[in-house]
Amino acid sequence: MDVIEESKSFADQFQVPTFTEDFDDMLKISDLDAVVICSPTDTHAEYTMRAARAGKHIFCEKPLDLSIHRVKEVLDVINESGVKLMIGFNRRFDPNFLKVRESVHAGNIGEAHILKITSRDPGPPPISYIKVSGGIFMDQAIHDFDMARYIMGKEVVEVFSKGAVKVDQAIGKAGDIDTALTTLTFEDGSMANIDNSRKAVYGYDQRLEVFGSGGMVKIENNYPDTHQFYGSKGVHGSLPLHFFLERYTKSYINEMAAFLNAIQNNSEIPVTGSDALSAMKIALAAKKSVIENRPVAIEEI
């Protein structure tokens, strides 16, 4: 069964009233309020602009585009059209990250001084994907850059990143790195550290802590079960949930509910195009920082 047949079968199963392979045909459906764009990255900008011009609200997976110029163009179209655009930074809707954000914004840790994010994938994507991904900062770390802004509620002004090829030399040959350590400086002098790896043999590693004048709040990984085995050689537990589909199941559901809710109630979109632009600037600054081995100011981007 090819992808078209599979999609058709899916549409049938859930009694989707219209099925089309043509994006513009879809936009012609008069009682269609909104579209969800999960196509390849290089189509995001075009589809988003077409949908906006057709007056449809849009949920688009990140990134909007790899070019900052193009992203700005899209955001202009969105502004003119008056439709809502939500970007798929799904982690904002994860119960753990939500709890940290809530705790920080409630003032539990006082003034935030240091944010630390650990973000490691269980394994790298295919080299073919790496080549068109925009690189580790634009593809993987961008979620962490968005999270840094989301948790701290402040803007990043400077980025310093170090990178290395440690996982697979083919990634290096493709012009990318697979291991990175990034320091973000916020407008008030507070700081964040983010470490990224394309391969953690123990699974998806998604942890975060914020330290401040009044304390610290941190989250650990999620596990498929809570069992612990005590044997003669030590205490053993399960590996963390393997990758994003398992780890962020709830966040994807919550994210789509938030999008629908914002459309239905005409309320504020929780992740805007401007958020996408800000995260993207950090990613571009990180890349520039690795190449030039120096801290890069966001305003340089």
Q: Which residues bind a copy of itself (CB under 8 A)?
A: 15, 95-96, 98-100, 103, 108-109, 111, 113-114, 116, 118, 120, 160, 162, 164-167, 179, 181, 183, 185, 189-191, 193, 195, 197, 199-202, 205, 211, 213-222, 224-239, 293-295
Q: Considering beta carbons, is residue 68 or 165 the nearer one to a copy of itself?
A: 165
**Nearest CB to a copy of itself, comparing residues 120 and 143:** 120
Query: Residue 41 or 103: which CB sits closer to a copy of itself?
Result: 103
Task: State the Cα–Cα distance between residues 76 and 82, nearest whole angstrom.
Answer: 10
Q: Which is nearer to a copy of itself, 82 or 189 (CB)?
A: 189
Nearer to a copy of itself, 104 or 271 (CB): 104
Q: Rounded CA gap, 81 and 92, in Å?
A: 26
First-to-last alpha carbon distance for the chain, in angstroms, is 45
DSSP 8-state secondary structure symbol assigned to residue 245: H
Is there a contact between 296 and 285 (Cβ–Cβ < 8 Å)? yes
CA triple 97-99-102, angle to 5 deg: 110
| 36 in Cβ contact with 56 (< 8 Å) | no
Q: Please state, in angstroms and rounded to a whole number, the distance separating the CA atoms of residues 93 and 268.
A: 15
The pairing of beta strand 191-197 with beta strand 179-186: antiparallel
Minimum Å gap between C-beta 257 and a copy of itself is 16
Q: 150 CB contacts (<8 Å, ≥6 apart)?
A: 89, 92, 97, 101
Neighbours of 231 (CB within 10 A): 7
| The two structure tokens encoding residue 186 | 């916020």
Residue 254 CB, shortest distance to a copy of itself, in Å, is 13
CB of 99 to a copy of itself, least distance (A): 4
Min dist CB 158 to a copy of itself, Å, is 8
Shortest separation between residue 259's beta carbon and a copy of itself, angstroms: 21
Question: Tokens in use for 195?
Answer: 């470490």
Q: Which is nearer to a copy of itself, 100 or 276 (CB)?
A: 100
We find the least distance from the C-beta atom of residue 17 to a copy of itself, in angstroms, to be 13
Nearer to a copy of itself, 1 or 235 (CB): 235
- The DSSP code for 126 is P
Contact of 192 with 186, CB cutoff 8 Å: yes
Report in angstroms how near the CB of residue 205 gets to a copy of itself at its nearest.
7
The span from the CA of 32 to the CA of 169, in Å, is 47
